[in-house]
Structures are given as structure tokens and as C-alpha cells.
């Protein structure tokens, strides 16, 4: 995994989408523009953490390297050194894939 020069802040998590392998069914190839945005992603970096009402930092429930499901339309897409990433809030992470 390449080192990424971005450090999310607060409860944000930097993820990279895991692209589905292209499948051909019945001789039809679906173009990239018609494919849905994948919801499976890999955690690349964690933010500084969310603070509770007492100012104490709450630990993240995910860690770098976890495969997660993220909200379909959540987050902000960013491009770093020709790689696409998404910054999401930890609340936009639906679950960890075992």
C-alpha cells in the first residue's frame, strides 16, 4: 500500500473503493459510466477522532486496512497522485467485512 500524503481530521476516514472485476454476461460489457459506485472500500487513513461532550477523543471502531461497506452516496471524492479516494465520516461506514 502506498503512503498517502493526507491526514483526515475529526471523525473522517479516508477509504479507497474496491473495484469489482468486470464480468461479461451474454456477450454484453457494461460501460464504466453505467456502473454503480461500489460500496466496498478499504480503510487507508483515520482522522484525529471525534470528541465527546467532555472533550475526550472517542476511539474509531475501524482500523487501517479494514474492508468496509460505506454509504452509497456518502463522502467526498478526492484524487491524490492519480488515485481516487473518498473521505467519509465514520457514521457513513455501515459495517466491517469479515
User: What is the per-residue pLDDT across 32-43, written as a single tens digit (0 to 9) for each?
Assistant: 555 566 689 999
Q: What is the pLDDT of residue 82?
A: 86
Q: What is the pLDDT of residue 37?
A: 60
pTM over 0.95: no
Which pLDDT does position 19 carry in this prediction? 75
Q: What nine digits make up the cell of 11?
A: 471523525
- 11-to-21, 24, 52, 93 alpha-carbon distances in Å: 31, 39, 11, 11
Domains and CATH numbers, the chain: 12-19+30-96 (2.30.33.40)
What per-residue confidence (pLDDT) applies to 66?
96
Q: Which residues of the chain have pLDDT under 50?
A: none
Residues contacting 58, CB < 8 A, separation 6+: 11, 49, 50, 51, 52
Amino acid at each position: 500500500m502506498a503512503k498517502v500524503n493526507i491526514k483526515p481530521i475529526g471523525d473522517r476516514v479516508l477509504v479507497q473503493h474496491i473495484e469489482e472485476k468486470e464480468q461479461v454476461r451474454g456477450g454484453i460489457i457494461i460501460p464504466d459510466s453505467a456502473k454503480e459506485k461500489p460500496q466496498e472500500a478499504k480503510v487507508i487513513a483515520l482522522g484525529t477522532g471525534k470528541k465527546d461532550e467532555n472533550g475526550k477523543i472517542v476511539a474509531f471502531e475501524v482500523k487501517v486496512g479494514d474492508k468496509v461497506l460505506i454509504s452509497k452516496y456518502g463522502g467526498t471524492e478526492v484524487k491524490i497522485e492519480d488515485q481516487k479516494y473518498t473521505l467519509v465520516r465514520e457514521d457513513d461506514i455501515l459495517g466491517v467485512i469479515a
